[in-house]
């Protein structure tokens, strides 16, 4: 079977969005289904800040979510719903290990820089797992650099990440631009910069959405 490159598929995501991790798991399933049909995509991740005003050092998660949702009990109910959805996707959330809600600019910087090394998808997965399953502080440059190394980022790229603010301006500008373009929920999926849908739908439905989008864009181009 010949393999057709079906375009660039980009996922708008935030590293602290649990539905984005679930969405990635379903995305991987959808991509596997489509690859069997000879349909493959170039994959990229785009930054979105759900909490752009979060302090750089992050905040205590329990205090933050208690204020946000009115009570810790309500926060735990929502966490349980997420954990149930995660189990369906084959993921294990450990909310009991998550002590802080971080600012995600540093994580977005790492993911953007990982693109130059061709390991953006792997780096995004490693960051998600570190936060949601291992309770690591993904607001920390040192933590993120270690995760990037595990994902296969080059030493020079990681040195640039640690040394200063490489990609910070681009990440902040792109996150703002996506919000201004009308994207208000993550994960959102774009094919060749056409918004397809938002949400962590099951792999089969996601694959069907991608098939339909490819067909429509190819018909328009014909």
The number of C-alpha atoms within 13 Å of 70 and in the hemisphere containing its C-beta is 3
Tell me the longest C-alpha to C-alpha distance in the chain: 55
Tokens of 29: 């399933």
- Rounded distance between C-alpha atoms, residue 7 and residue 137, angstroms: 34
- Domain count within the chain: 1
Q: What per-residue confidence (pLDDT) applies to 1?
A: 46
Separation CA 108–CA 127 (nearest Å): 10
Residue-wise pLDDT for 29-39, tens only, equals 999 999 999 99
Q: How confident is the model at residue 222 (pLDDT cuts 50, 70, 90)?
A: confident
Q: Global pTM? A: 0.95
CATH number at residue 35: 3.40.30.10
Is the distance from CB of 53 to CB of 16 less than 8 angstroms?
A: no
Domain that holds residue 145: 4-221
Task: Give CA angle at 173 (171, 177), nearest 5°.
Answer: 115
């Amino acid at each position: 079977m010949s393999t057709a490159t079906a375009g660039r598929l980009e996922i708008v995501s935030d590293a602290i969005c649990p539905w984005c991790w679930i969405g990635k798991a379903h995305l991987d399933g959808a991509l596997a289904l489509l690859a069997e049909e000879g349909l493959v995509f170039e994959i990229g991740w785009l930054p979105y800040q759900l909490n752009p005003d979060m302090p750089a050092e992050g905040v205590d998660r329990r205090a933050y979510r208690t204020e946000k949702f009115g009570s810790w009990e309500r926060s735990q109910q929502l966490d349980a719903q997420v954990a149930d959805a995660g189990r369906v996707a084959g993921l294990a959330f450990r909310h009991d290990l998550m002590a802080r809600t971080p600012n995600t600019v540093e994580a977005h910087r790492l993911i953007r820089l990982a693109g130059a090394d061709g390991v953006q998808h792997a780096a995004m997965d490693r960051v998600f797992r570190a936060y949601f399953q291992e309770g690591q502080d993904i607001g920390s440059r040192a933590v993120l650099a270690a995760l990037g190394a595990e994902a296969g980022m080059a030493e020079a790229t990681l040195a640039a990440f640690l040394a200063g603010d490489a990609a910070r301006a681009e990440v902040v500008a792109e996150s703002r631009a996506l919000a201004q373009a009308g994207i208000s929920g993550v994960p959102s999926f774009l094919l060749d910069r056409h918004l397809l849908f938002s949400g962590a739908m099951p792999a089969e439905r996601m694959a069907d959405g991608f098939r339909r989008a490819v067909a429509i864009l190819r018909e328009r181009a014909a």
